Amino acid sequence: MLELKNLSVHYGPKRVVSEVDLTLAPGQTLGLAGESGSGKSTVAMSVLRLLPKAARVQGEILLDGDDVRTMSWGRLRAVRWASASIVFQGAMHSLNPVRRVGDQIAEPMRLHGTRGGVTELLEQVELPREKARAYPHELSGGQRQRVMIAMALACGPRLVIADEPTTALDVVVQAQVLAVLKRLVAEQDLGLLMISHDLSVLAETCDDLAVMHRGEVVERGRTREVIANPRHPHTAALTAAFPVIGDPAHRWAEPAAAPEPLLRVRDLVVDYGRTRAVDGVDLTIGRGEIVALVGQSGSGKTTLARTIMGLRKPSSGRVIFDGAEVARTGKALKAFRRQVQLVLQDPSSALNPRHTVFDAVAEGLRVHGLADDQEALVTAAVERAELRPASLYLEALPHELSGGQQQRVVIAGALVLQPRLLVADEPVASLDASVRGEIVALLLRLRRELGLASLIITHDLGLAWQIADRVAVMHQGKIVEQGSVEQVLLTPAHDYTRALLRAVPQV
């Protein structure tokens, strides 16, 4: 059905895809794995000739025997969506924000003269028919992704390409969306080409797997076999990067003695208007302890973190740091903030694109009026974050650095103030698999060497298993379960924890 022969794509002199050969038979499910920049999305876009004009495509792209590269525009438009459609990463901006989703689903049907109704398509993806009248912003991330799937199936294509269809969704929603996609592919006997950086997602959905690295397919085969016995070192690195909960080899945190408390949260309540975002939370973080706060989006974990950092006033309850109640205003609050530093999820948007690494790291020093000896402090922090030698990086701008290096700059910016607690909101979620492990190791090393405590906010239970001493599970504003990692993740007591664990894709 789909045959790529010797496919290469160049942007100017830069080769982003080189000599890729892939075939996909009807009813076959093929996963295409790789990190950002590996060329996997370029391959997907080339199938419907959607690459920008600057791209030079060589080789053959045969869709039902016809070469997409040489089709007339009219023929190409007829083939698009009717023969092969794409499930884009709909959680973000792949739907038109000012048009109702029902119209957007119906649009290709009218265009290609397909019979059928939007209602049935919505039913297939388990959405109520009223949602056809909704605008994209009125839907949740998972619902938008279902709309994308319904839209992709609108013209009854035989091939569906799914490009990172569950990235940016939390585990529970991801599991639901994958289940819908799997069911429809099986029911309608579709060919599926699924692209993801996450091997566990591909393992859940695809029978066959191809791994891309720097524009080349480095390994392919049955998914089970490739993951169980990776032959290429890059595949091995990818499989190793996703921790298996319960596997001692993936448990990187050293067992620590029960520490004395550094931060105590007592009966904390935070209201947004009439909505109770945080509902009576008790939480303790010891000196040098790493606590993972896990839960779905909307569970209140980010609000809790913001309140702990003094960025939001609690409605009631207490936050006690180092034996004293945290001040809510003035100099005392500023002094407290110096001790608690934040690391955000996406380093590319957390860093000002016009600030050099030196400026970014030194900013905290300037804010806190610690102007003496800036250079030595910044250099030390940058080296602590393992950007060595610092002199190579200080004058660099964010876009000149890789994702992992950017995240190290963010961490250096936190370290320069010599904090005692790091609050990290999804610190590895937007990083590639191979970099992820390095950042996790860095956080653990900082704890070992500096006694730095961390509160890691995440929906990734694997990360919690890898790094944390204790886990607190948050659901609808309440902490429903907390305890040591082994206790919570291996013998969960609460139904919600069990539901979260069930949703984790299994490699």
Binding site for other proteins (CB under 8 A): 45, 48, 50, 76-82, 85-86, 88-89, 92-99, 107-108, 111-112, 135, 137-138, 151
Question: What gap in Å lies between CA 424 and CA 347, rounded to an integer?
Answer: 12
Q: Are 344 and 456 in contact (CB under 8 A)?
A: no
Q: Which phi and psi (to 5°) does residue 446 adopt?
A: -65, -40
Place of tokens 């004395």: 260
Per-residue H/E/C for 223-251: HHHHHHCCCCHHHHHHHHHCCCCCCHHHC
Smallest gap from Cβ 12 to other proteins, in A, equals 17
Smallest gap from Cβ 112 to other proteins, in A, equals 6
Question: What gap in Å lies between CA 422 and CA 413, rounded to an integer?
Answer: 11
Please name which of 329, 32, 29 lies closest in space to residue 189, comparing C-alpha atoms.
Answer: 29
Residue 180 corresponds to which tokens in the numbers above?
A: 């819908």
How many other C-beta atoms are found inside a 10 Å radius of the C-beta of residue 491?
9
Smallest gap from Cβ 78 to other proteins, in A, equals 7
Smallest gap from Cβ 505 to other proteins, in A, equals 25
User: Which is nearer to other proteins, 92 or 186 (by Cβ)?
Assistant: 92
User: Which is nearer to other proteins, 90 or 286 (by Cβ)?
Assistant: 90
Please name which of 351, 353, 327 lies closest in space to residue 340, comparing C-alpha atoms.
Answer: 327
Smallest gap from Cβ 11 to other proteins, in A, equals 15
Question: What gap in Å lies between CA 220 and CA 20, rounded to an integer?
Answer: 12
Output the CA torsion 140→125→79→33 (10° steps). Answer: 70
User: Which is nearer to other proteins, 135 or 252 (by Cβ)?
Assistant: 135
Smallest gap from Cβ 1 to other proteins, in A, equals 18
How many other C-beta atoms are found inside a 10 Å radius of the C-beta of residue 331?
8
User: Which is nearer to other proteins, 4 or 268 (by Cβ)?
Assistant: 4
Please name which of 203, 194, 166 lies closest in space to residue 92, comparing C-alpha atoms.
Answer: 166
Burial class for 388, CB neighbours closer than 10 Å (0-12, 13-18, 19+): exposed
User: Which is nearer to other proteins, 52 or 323 (by Cβ)?
Assistant: 52
Q: Are 86 and 163 in contact (CB under 8 A)?
A: yes
User: Which is nearer to other proteins, 92 or 335 (by Cβ)?
Assistant: 92
Smallest gap from Cβ 172 to other proteins, in A, equals 25
Q: Which phi and psi (to 5°) does residue 97 adopt?
A: -65, -20
Q: Are 200 and 31 in contact (CB under 8 A)?
A: no
Smallest gap from Cβ 137 to other proteins, in A, equals 5
User: Which is nearer to other proteins, 82 or 385 (by Cβ)?
Assistant: 82
Smallest gap from Cβ 166 to other proteins, in A, equals 16
The beta strand positions in 150-274, using DSSP E, are 159-163, 191-196, 208-213, 216-222, 261-272
Smallest gap from Cβ 28 to other proteins, in A, equals 21
User: Which is nearer to other proteins, 65 or 113 (by Cβ)?
Assistant: 113
Smallest gap from Cβ 95 to other proteins, in A, equals 6
User: Which is nearer to other proteins, 81 or 496 (by Cβ)?
Assistant: 81
User: Which is nearer to other proteins, 160 or 444 (by Cβ)?
Assistant: 160
User: Which is nearer to other proteins, 98 or 376 (by Cβ)?
Assistant: 98
Question: What gap in Å lies between CA 169 and CA 181, rounded to an integer?
Answer: 15
**3-state DSSP call for residue 218?**
strand
Smallest gap from Cβ 110 to other proteins, in A, equals 10
Question: What gap in Å lies between CA 393 and CA 374, rounded to an integer?
Answer: 16
User: Which is nearer to other proteins, 137 or 331 (by Cβ)?
Assistant: 137
Question: What gap in Å lies between CA 240 and CA 434, rounded to an integer?
Answer: 9
User: Which is nearer to other proteins, 95 or 193 (by Cβ)?
Assistant: 95
The Cα-based distances of 169 to 30, 33, 197, 201 in angstroms read: 22, 18, 14, 12
Smallest gap from Cβ 53 to other proteins, in A, equals 11
Report how far apart the first and last C-alpha atoms of the chain are (Å, whole number). 28
